[in-house]
Amino acid sequence: MNQGTYSVLSNINIAKDVYKMILGGDTSQITAPGQFINIKLDGLYLRRPISICDFDENSITIIYKVVGAGTELMSRFEAYKNLDVLVGLGNGFDISKSGDRPLLIGGGVGVPPMYYLCKALLEKGVSPTVILGFNSAEDVFYEKKFKKLGVPVYVATVDGSCGIKGFVTDVVPLVGEYSYFYTCGPLPMFKAVYKTCITSGQFSFEERMGCGFGACMGCTCKTKYGNKRICKDGPVLEKEEIIW
Amino acid sequence: MVNTKVTLSGITLDNPVIPASGTFGFGYEFADIYDINILGSISCKGTTKDSRFGNPTPRIAECTMGLINSVGLQNPGIDKVVSEELPKLSKVYSKPVIANISGFSIDDYAYTCEKIDSQPQVGIIEVNISCPNVHNGGMSFGTDPNTALAVTKAVKAVTTKPVYIKLSPNVTDITEIAKACEQGGADGISLINTLMGMRINLKTKKPVIANKMGGFSGPAILPVAVRMVYQVFEAVKIPIIGMGGISTAEDVIEMMLAGASAVQVGAANLVDPCACKTIIENLPAVMQKYGIDSLQDIIGGSHNG
């Protein structure tokens, strides 16, 4: 974990209520796809945890949806604003378990961590299949970015206004065989994925956090492997350990 | 050169800054962030007789200048604390620590206290009779002078270490409770624990926290804490560890002027993992600014005569 000052390089609207922010600063503490950062915002007490979508040597890309006071404030940030950020939090996805044909399943603002995960798998020589789920066409983002990586990408929308009509789990039977899965998204989607996907896999959970680095026990959940703090021992849990 | 040393029940601390129980785990995870040996001491995560998962999530709610938590004393239980957690801490922290214990009956408190008494690295035992997040225990012992007295006597009977009783602000007259603890033989008082609070989500129209209510802490409660420390300082002769919203070196001095011999920093650790380090580093300059040579000399300095 690194605590530092990160500078907003850009902050743009990419879908309905969804923004992409690029932050400049040290990324040496990011060790796995699926980790998150925790941002201090002026006037709000608790930091806001946001998953890492992508990063390079000196910048971090995050994608967030405006859902409350914190993200609303963030959506108005302009370039050059400096932020106090904790970087490299959480365990992240374990790509060693992917097998040769993993599925990446992202729903809504669960899509962003799938992007760097996809890049990391490709770098390892593994080509994943990507399924992105949204409510409607106006919510869709990053379809082209994933396609540019050269992997098969399926988009599902609940209302059918873009891609396949239905849920991500309606797409799973269409993609053929897969070796493993990685997923991030809302809880109802998780439960459907858990039932639909026959292989082993990893789920990246969300929970209200106090600190984001394991101190307060505010986000603890029960697993078959014992109590786990979503912020420190998660956010990624393995399918076999989850207690719904 | 200013002097930041303070003494608590015969134990000299390099400075009065102590991370508060429940905001610092068992300390060792913070050792990855900075050298925790700069701390005056550490108040460890509240420990009970048996292991506890705590309350359902969400356990956390944002507030103006603070947060509500309803963790509910999640801890691995006294046996694992003694066999695993404290040894891990002793590898990275060489000073006496404060063991924070809680219970659901007077026997629980005595049992846990007796087990922790055998640990040489424990300098002080802090007895939490003020947790707002558990039913049939915790705070119910700290809101009545008679039960506060009974818990104090029970733990004092099983330990030779200094015992500090951690009080709840959720009472009509905190001085009554503090006096009962003193009468029961307490070596000191820690105050304040969190204030009972609640938030309601306007979208769902339901409480934010699964347990509905929780303990409110953070800078917003500092004035309440300063007032209560001030009152208790006038009511008892035993030392006070002051806490509640402390986030800066200035807050430390204010709390000591109210009557605290040392202070604990809680919520601030959660938003800034280096909060205690920053406070300790800033203390000498802030002392100089206000013409303070020795912190020990300012304890209770705001009281007349």
Q: Work out the percent of chain A whose per-residue pLDDT is above 90.
A: 100
- For residue B199, the distance in angstroms to the closest alpha carbon of chain A comes to 14
Residues of A numbered 142-161 whose beta carbons fall under 8 angstroms of chain B's beta carbons: which are they?
Answer: none
Residues of chain A with C-beta less than 8 angstroms from the C-beta of B219: 45
8 Å CB contact of A220 and B59: yes
Q: CB distance from A89 to chain B under 8 Å?
A: no
8 Å CB contact of B54 and A220: yes
Residues of chain A with C-beta less than 8 angstroms from the C-beta of B45: 217
8 Å CB contact of B271 and A214: no
8 Å CB contact of B22 and A214: no
Residues of chain A with C-beta less than 8 angstroms from the C-beta of B32: 1
Q: B20-62, pLDDT tens digit by residue?
A: 999 999 999 999 999 999 999 999 999 999 999 999 999 999 9
- Local confidence band at B1 (pLDDT 50, 70, 90 cut-offs): confident
Q: A133-142, pLDDT tens digit by residue?
A: 999 999 999 9
Task: Report the chain B residue with the minimal C-alpha distance to residue A48.
Answer: B271
Angle between helix B275-289 and B249-258 (nearest 10): 70
Mean per-residue pLDDT for A207-223? Answer: 95
Whether the ipTM is more than 0.90: the answer is yes
8 Å CB contact of B270 and A215: yes
Residue B133, pLDDT above cutoff 90: no
pLDDT of residue B141: 87
Query: What is the C-alpha to C-alpha distance for residues A118 and B111, in angstroms, rounded to an integer?
Result: 53
pLDDT of residue A92: 98
8 Å CB contact of A227 and B66: no
Cβ contacts below 8 Å, chain A against chain B, sum to 91
Measure CB to CB from residue A217 to each of B71, B218, B272 and give the nearest one: B71
Q: CB distance from A187 to chain B under 8 Å?
A: no
Measure CB to CB from residue A215 to each of B23, B65, B219 and give the nearest one: B23
Residue A212, pLDDT above cutoff 80: yes
| Token pair recorded at residue B139 | 């705070």
Q: Interface of chain B against chain A, CB under 8 Å? A: 22-25, 29-30, 32-33, 45, 53-54, 57-67, 69, 71, 74, 208, 218-219, 267, 269-274
A211, A221, A228, A233, best to mutate vs chain B, most B CBs in 10 Å: A211
User: Could you tell me the CA-to-CA distances from A176 to A155, A171, A193, B210, B247 in Å, in that order?
Assistant: 16, 10, 16, 41, 56
pLDDT of residue B137: 66
Measure CB to CB from residue A218 to each of B64, B69, B274 and give the nearest one: B69
Mean per-residue pLDDT for B127-139? Answer: 79
Q: A195-206, pLDDT tens digit by residue?
A: 999 999 999 999
Residue B135, pLDDT above cutoff 80: no
Beta-strand runs (E) in chain B: 6-8, 11-13, 17-19, 60-63, 66-69, 97-101, 122-128, 163-166, 188-191, 195-197, 200-201, 206-207, 214-217, 240-243, 262-265
Task: Report the chain A residue with the minimal C-alpha distance to residue B75.
Answer: A217
8 Å CB contact of B62 and A46: yes
- Local confidence band at B291 (pLDDT 50, 70, 90 cut-offs): very high
8 Å CB contact of A1 and B32: yes
- For residue B73, the distance in angstroms to the closest alpha carbon of chain A comes to 9
Q: B255-282, pLDDT tens digit by residue?
A: 999 999 999 999 999 999 999 999 999 9
8 Å CB contact of A217 and B274: no
- Local confidence band at B304 (pLDDT 50, 70, 90 cut-offs): confident
- Local confidence band at B130 (pLDDT 50, 70, 90 cut-offs): confident
Residues of chain A with C-beta less than 8 angstroms from the C-beta of B267: 45
Measure CB to CB from residue A213 to each of B74, B267, B273 and give the nearest one: B273
Mean per-residue pLDDT for A116-121? Answer: 98
One DSSP character per residue, chain A reads -EEEEEEEEEEEEEETTEEEEEEES--TT--STT-EEEE--TT-SS-EEEEEEEEETTEEEEEEE--SHHHHHHHT--TT-EEEEEEEES----GGG--SSEEEEEEGGGSHHHHHHHHHHHHTT---EEEEEESSGGG--SHHHHHHTTS-EEEEETTSSSSEES-HHHHGGGS---SEEEEES-HHHHHHHHHH--S-EEEE-----SSSSSSS-TTEEEETTEEEETTTT-SEEEGGGB--
Q: Work out the percent of chain B whose per-residue pLDDT is above 90.
A: 94
Q: B88-110, pLDDT tens digit by residue?
A: 999 999 999 999 999 999 999 99
Spot the catalytic one: B113, B131, B181, B276: B131
Task: Report the chain A residue with the minimal C-alpha distance to residue B28.
Answer: A215
8 Å CB contact of B63 and A216: no
- For residue A49, the distance in angstroms to the closest alpha carbon of chain B comes to 11
8 Å CB contact of A211 and B58: no
- For residue B107, the distance in angstroms to the closest alpha carbon of chain A comes to 26
Catalytic annotation on B113?
no
On average, the pLDDT of chain B sits at: 96
pLDDT of residue B202: 94
- Local confidence band at A208 (pLDDT 50, 70, 90 cut-offs): very high
For the entire predicted model, the pTM comes to: 0.94
- For residue A123, the distance in angstroms to the closest alpha carbon of chain B comes to 30
- Local confidence band at A113 (pLDDT 50, 70, 90 cut-offs): very high
